[in-house]
Structure 1
Amino acid sequence: MRTALLLRQTRMHFPRLDVDQITIKPIEKGGSDRKFYRIDCAADQKLILVKYNLDREENRHYVNIAQFLDTHGIRVPKIYFHDPVEGLIWIEDLGEQDLYSYRHESWLVRRAFYESALDQIATLHALPESVCVEIKEHLPAEFNAELYRWEQNYFFRNCLGRYFNIDKAELAALAALAPLKEIAKWLASFPRVLVHRDFQSQNVIIQNGQANLIDFQGMRPGLAYYDLASLLYDPYIDVAEAERAELIAYYRGRQLENGITIDGDFDLTLRLCAIQRLMQALGAYGFLGLVRGHKNFLQYIPRAVRSLRHIVAKVDNLKPLASFLEELREESSGAAS
């Protein structure tokens, strides 16, 4: 949709804006099929305009999810106007400083922002089932064994297959490993809470020192460990082991404050969710980089592979996969194809 038309629609829905000074600029970020625009009129007149694909189911539920989260005390952009016919949403502009943009700051600075992000996600995870049913009809399918297996196969197909050009027979053998199926079934056996599903540094906006969540349209019932792993093993940022340990302790403290006791083997469950999340992310990087043409995502594959290798090596029954990853070169000719 042309920017002139977007401006005309903005003026129509927001007649009090200073139309003489209005500008609109595309925001080039992420691999979403949605398009984002920053609308700037004056110092106190800023908006983000989202143009979404009407054919994609989860896009149509963004507004309902945003309003649900806001109602229950989770900081997200406010919704100003929604045009479901055109697939347009005008939302609050929280600024350009995401958690990722602070990656070079000292841990003392970053820790406060990470803790603020964990406060928000812990609040989401603590919502009781009686509250969660309010939004159930607007959510994608819950995490189950089939979805965990899909994530695994997404990794084999789009990362190992497309990016690393691994032989199909070898891929099939790895994908068929019995322990991977067991992990999917085991994770699916736990009670679920609402999870963000893409809780990483570029989806946390820092405004006035506080974390705000964005890109939450994939929210669904799943394991809290999955969100925690998404942030702690974020391929966009190097998080040191000592920093990770501090954040785990902080999150567990927040859970206890919310009256949530953590049963079972916390470390093992977090580790397995980290494997799942990294497989999903690596599959996405391969797909977005080589199929959708967003080559910038390919630069994050080496770091994500290193993290996956490190975690898989700690799981006893995944030795065949650990051995394979140990021999895998982190750079590939697939990046140039």
Structure 2
Amino acid sequence: MELPESIRLLFPPEERALLDISTIKGDASNRQYFRVTGPGDTSVVCADPAFRAIATKDYPFLIVRGLFARHGVRVPKLLGMAHEAGLLRLEDCGDLMLQDEVPLLERDRLSERYRQIIDLLVRIQSIRPDEKTPESAIPFSLSFDHEKLMFEFDFFIEHALKGYFSGKLDDRAIAELRNEFVAITGLLVLPEHFVLNHRDFHSRNIMLFCDEPVIIDFQDARLGLPQYDAVSLLRDSYVRLDPGMVNELKRYHFNQLIRLGLTSMDEAEYLRLFDLMAFQRNVKAVGTFCYQTTVVGNHAFEPSIAATLSYLREYIDVQPELAAAGALLGPIIPGISR
């Protein structure tokens, strides 16, 4: 059966012939999205080949969506599904992303919006396993452990240094850099500080619907440092915030973690780990953008490569643990202090 026919089966028989199905520009995944307009309203259909290959009860999107919804995190409502076709019908939360709103707001209103979103982030980071998602289940069985962080660093080496920036670093420099990545990873694997993270908490995964933030693309949630999602939001590859505002918002996030008893770090440790985590997260993002550009042929992400690399010098200049990696990365990061 063709995909449009399968999509129509998610709707009442009397509406199927009247539906208008249009493609929505998706992310860097294998999922496809469609906006379906019917006689009375619209909804969004996600076509995910992975959904067909896994039992509904084990499908991460449904598990995490249910977990977030039960804890008061606004996510799109689930309106229906066709497991055999790999289809999910979801509430249509519009097209306005946080990324789109940022340039429209004055500083005070923008700061207020980001504080609202950090409150939502801290709500996610407060979630603990419940009877429907025990500690042995997704997302609590996954974490930013050594294997995961090094996978992301290695992805950067393969697709950025050996791909997009081929020839900028020789094999010896890449081997030395990987050793530095191993050392940095060791500083970030601190399970005693881990909380639940969305994993991709940036301005394109926060929709604004009826002036309320709605969180999407949450299926890869896992445990990690609370700084991980804060970095995604405040050191965003798609939006660059004023440095003064970033510092204010980092402090706000830290104070919220303290208020809710979610961390035992002091502020100095929080800020140090924020920079180390930001380095890792931004390097990981550059690897993804280079892969999309050189392997997939999707050049929409190419402008974000330089924008993301430009963050790195800020962490390298202030955190001694990053100095050696920064020196090795110098050929692709102009402006690093020596």
Paired position in structure 1 for 2:25: 28
The separation in 2 between residues aligned to 1:293 and 1:317, in whole angstroms, is: 35
Which residue of structure 1 aligns with residue 294 of structure 2?
A: 290
TM-fit CA distance, 1:159: 1.4
Q: Distance in 2 between matches of 1:91 and 1:28?
A: 16
The corresponding residue for 2:107 is 107
TM-score, length basis structure 1: 0.88
Report the counterpart of residue 176 of structure 2 in structure 1. 173
SS in structure 2 of the partner of residue 104 of structure 1: helix
Is the contact made by 2:24 and 2:34 (CA closer than 8 Å) also made in structure 1? yes
Q: Which residue does the alignment assign to 1:126?
A: 126
Aligned residues: 324
Inter-CA distance 120–135: structure 2 relative to 1 (3 Å threshold): farther
Query: Which of 265, 270, 274 is equivalent to 1:266?
Result: 270
Instruction: Specify which of 316, 325, 335 is matched with residue 312 of structure 1.
Output: 316
Report the residue type matching 1:22 in the other structure. Answer: L
In 2, Cα distance between equivalents of 1:297 and 1:57: 30
Q: Does 1:5 align with 2:9?
A: no
Moved beyond 4 Å, runs of 4+ = 18-21, 55-59, 129-133
The equivalent residue for 2:231 is 229
After TM superposition, the structure 1 = structure 2 runs for residues 1-337 of structure 1, keeping only pairs within 5 Å, are 2-11=2-11, 14-15=12-13, 18-19=15-16, 21-42=18-39, 45-54=41-50, 60-105=59-104, 106-129=106-129, 133-134=133-134, 136-139=136-139, 141-165=142-166, 166=168, 167-177=170-180, 180-191=181-192, 192-264=194-266, 265-328=269-332
Question: Structure 1: 5+ residue runs without aligned partners?
Answer: 331-337
The percent of aligned pairs where both chains have the same amino acid is 23
Q: Secondary structure at the match of 2:85?
A: coil
Per-residue CA distance 1:12-60 (angstroms, 9 max, x = gap): xx347x4464211111132111000011124x51111000022787993
Counterpart-to-counterpart distance in 2, 1:253 and 1:318: 26
Change (3 A) 1:45 1:293: same
RMSD: 2.4
Stretches of structure 2 lacking an aligned partner (at least 5 in a row): none
TM-score (norm 2): 0.88
User: Residue 98 of structure 1: CA displacement?
Assistant: 0.7
Q: 1:263 to 1:57 in 2, by over 3 A?
A: farther
Q: One-letter code of the match for 2:153?
A: Q
Question: What is the alpha-carbon distance in structure 2 between the residues aligned to residue 90 and residue 136 of structure 1?
Answer: 28
Three-state SS of the structure 1 residue aligned to 2:43 is strand
Q: Contact conserved, 2:207 with 2:214, CA < 8 A, in 1?
A: yes
